[in-house]
Chains A and B, each alone.
Chain A
Amino acid sequence: MKNMTEINAAGLENRDRRHFLKSSALLTGVLTATSVLGLLAPSLSWALPLQHLDQADADAVLALAKTLYPHKDLPDAVYALVVKELDVYAGDAEGRNFVTKGVAALNAKASGHFSKVSRAGQRRAVATLIDDGFVQKVRSTCVTGLYNNDMAFAHFGYEGEAFSKGGYVHRGFNDLSWLPAPPSEASPALKS
């Protein structure tokens, strides 16, 4: 893990260090000090300045990502990466309109601001609108965005690139000890 630059490389910033005068909206959060990311990040507080989405739409996209993929303790900092991608998508009028209309449909279905209704209300609204183009856009952005970054790797326990570390041949490829080891006919010892 490239820990010093981790949070910054992901596009989130230490909110104590910057001013966000030109941003259209701001997502902020605080990592739990004892979480994997909290231990690795240079600062516990983070902020994501957005350029195109307004605050209500940004909050709605964040809530939608969390409703679609409701991980027990995945920090908002990772979900914020999905909002960042949608913010880029909203960079032209067509994209902006797509997001605004999509959020409006979610709000209508939830009978209120989607980001503020109950979890159950959010799930119901998404279940009804799951085939909607906007919901699918956010869903597919989640699949490629939530799980393909160093923060997610650290959180879910995937070690990523292995060649520069010599692979796992001496780093635990067969370190599982809660089952008996297979006999050598089935699984011969490592050959030098």
Chain B
Amino acid sequence: MVQFAKDDDTVVVIVGSGAGGGTLANELCQKGVNVVLLEAGKRQSSATFINDEWPSFKQLAWLDTRTTSGSWRIARDFPNLPSWICKTVGGTTTHWAGASLRFHDYEFKTRTTYGGIKGANVMDWPLSLDELEPYYARAEDKMGVTRTNDIPGLPGNNNFKIMYSGATKVGYKTCHTGRMAINSRPRAGRGRCLQLGFCFQGCKSGAKWSTLYTEIPAAEATGKLELRTEAHVARIEHDAAGKANAVVYFDADGKEQRQKARVVCVAGNSIETPRLLLMSASAKYPDGLANSSGQVGRNYMRHTTGSVYAYFRDPVHFYRGTVMAGVITDEVPNNPKRGFVGGYEFETISLGLPFYAAFLDPGAWGSKFATFMDHYKSTAGMWIVGEDLAQKSNRITLNSMVKDQYGLPVPNVHYDDHPNDVAMREHAYKQGEAIYRAVGALDVIRTPPYPSTHNLGTCRMSEKASDGVCNKHGQTHDIPNLFISDGSQFTSGGAANPTLTIVSLAIRQAEYIAEQLAARSL
């Protein structure tokens, strides 16, 4: 495997190996660019993944201390676990369930479409669907998304059968087994889905797309990639002119290392990415890197989520087969008559018995909870994914009172629901309950949001440098050779799982960086 010298200042350094960083690394390597990819976690594989929820969680999840504040229920139930994302090669593409939906045209123009909304910081993207469409197409092909590129849909499991029947009965028209980055038949050297039911625990069959066993080995095969695992980045440094020139990290032995860089791309997910920019504050940039707008860490979005579970007279075994086995998209289009702007989708969800107990109704006790557990075998579940609105005060800050294992300030995640989020969630809960009641549910329960998997917006794209952190290529307004390469770029969240959009943006960003390097503009 190629190794680059620490003082080699011609390399592109990418922080994070998930959907954004892992894809960007491969795309750059395919174009002949030398890349050092720094990943805080260890390298697992399909062989080492574990079909057991708690041990798998310990293997893959980002468990470094974080703190929370705000009125969201997470701050009460999981005060040190605001998000459920991963610290491992492949990042959260090891954990994601594979749902790959495109944004709609108006979802890039939310300020224009929704108008000004009190208390929210809604803004149009500096990018349109037209511009992103070719990259969506490339991402779908790369990821093997079902119902695109002549790839058949997946067969629905028992959980989907219930969703489909209920959705049809309440009058919904668009319910199917989704656009999933999970092989319905062998493709790209990976096998067909075995319906394991452990999508969240790392796919042991490799049927689900993850940068771990697609992008990263492909990049390694070019001889242009050096992946360094257990490399926890502490700060980005800059030269006297203000351009990024090195990345400082702690290696597996806890020793500080410094890698010089021609370009630095940050893809640490929407909590670590702004944390890193804020921790890199210097005399020249006292508020952190790329933060002249003051927007670094702000506008944190996490989707208006929630779940509805129901139990029935007869068995379901909802834990068998793909976790997100189907989708209902009728509620996606913006229709303010419902009492909120934006939209939401439903996806089936299932949890194993241990996580069902942990997340069904955190903190609950007594007979209602016990009765739901008693009916585990005859339970069905769905998850709500809706657009939440950016707010300036929902933000990642450095908590200097609490230090991590390297002595660095931990990130604090502050979140309050906007009234629009509350109205949307209420609507979705009611509709979800109606779906299950329509097919004979004996009882239904509203499960509050889990620790966030869709963390977005904390280094948002903007047309003007005063409104956001980066431009439509993810290039920061302030520092031309510093890029944001993950979901932090999102100006708004859409009613779609973010991975497909993150991958599309990474493919597009790689083209831009390669062009700029060739033109010696970087």
| Interface residues in chain A, defined as those with a beta carbon under 8 Å from any beta carbon in chain B | 68-72, 123, 126, 130, 139, 143-144, 146-148, 152-153, 156-163, 166-169, 171-176, 178-182, 185-192
Query: A-side binding surface: helix, strand, loop or mixed?
Result: loop
> By the criterion CB–CB under 8 Å, are A162 and B51 in contact?
yes
24 contacts between A and B (CB under 8 A): A68-B365, A68-B366, A130-B365, A139-B365, A148-B54, A148-B357, A158-B377, A160-B51, A161-B51, A161-B52, A162-B198, A166-B194, A169-B193, A169-B194, A169-B195, A174-B156, A176-B317, A179-B161, A182-B161, A182-B164, A187-B153, A187-B161, A187-B177, A191-B152
- Beyond the given A160-B52, A171-B320, please list 13 additional residue pairs across the A-B interface where CB-CB is below 8 A: A71-B370, A139-B365, A159-B320, A169-B194, A169-B321, A176-B161, A180-B165, A186-B164, A188-B155, A189-B155, A191-B184, A191-B185, A191-B192
Q: Report if B8 contacts A (CB, 8 A).
A: no
Q: How does the 8 Å CB contact mask read for B74-104 relative to A, with 1 for contact and 0 for none?
A: 0000000000000000000000000000000
Could you say which residues of chain A place their CB within 8 Å of the CB of B164?
182, 186-187
> By the criterion CB–CB under 8 Å, are A157 and B161 in contact?
no
A109 to chain B, nearest CB (A): 16
Could you say which residues of chain B place their CB within 8 Å of the CB of A187?
153, 155-156, 160-161, 164, 176-177, 326
Could you say which residues of chain B place their CB within 8 Å of the CB of A176?
158, 161-162, 314-317
Could you say which residues of chain B place their CB within 8 Å of the CB of A188?
152-155, 177, 184
Could you say which residues of chain B place their CB within 8 Å of the CB of A173?
155, 157-158, 195, 197, 320-321
A8 to chain B, nearest CB (A): 20
CA distance A176 to B319 in the complex (A): 13
Q: Report if B437 contacts A (CB, 8 A).
A: no
Contacts A147-B357, A174-B157, A185-B176; A69 near B373 (Cβ below 8 A): yes
> By the criterion CB–CB under 8 Å, are B195 and A167 in contact?
yes
Q: Report if B204 contacts A (CB, 8 A).
A: yes
Instruction: Give residues of chain B (323-377) contacting chain A, Cβ–Cβ below 8 Å.
Output: 326, 352-354, 356-358, 365-367, 369-370, 373-374, 376-377
> By the criterion CB–CB under 8 Å, are A167 and B353 in contact?
no
Could you say which residues of chain A place their CB within 8 Å of the CB of B522?
none
Q: Which of A143, A173, A181, A182 has the largest count of B CB atoms less than 10 A from its CB?
A: A173
Contacts A182-B161, A186-B164, A188-B153; A168 near B320 (Cβ below 8 A): yes
Contacts A186-B164, A191-B185; A178 near B314 (Cβ below 8 A): yes
Q: Report if B175 contacts A (CB, 8 A).
A: yes
Could you say which residues of chain B place their CB within 8 Å of the CB of A182?
156, 160-161, 164-165
Could you say which of B185, B195, B376 contacts A168, with CB atoms under 8 Å apart? Answer: B195
Could you say which of A158, A163, A171, A186 contacts B319, with CB atoms under 8 Å apart? Answer: A158
Q: Report if B452 contacts A (CB, 8 A).
A: no
Measured CB to CB, the nearest residue on chain B to A161 is: B51
Could you say which residues of chain A place their CB within 8 Å of the CB of B160?
182, 187
Q: Report if B439 contacts A (CB, 8 A).
A: yes
> By the criterion CB–CB under 8 Å, are B358 and A143 in contact?
yes
> By the criterion CB–CB under 8 Å, are B54 and A163 in contact?
no
Could you say which residues of chain B place their CB within 8 Å of the CB of A178?
314
Measured CB to CB, the nearest residue on chain B to A187 is: B156
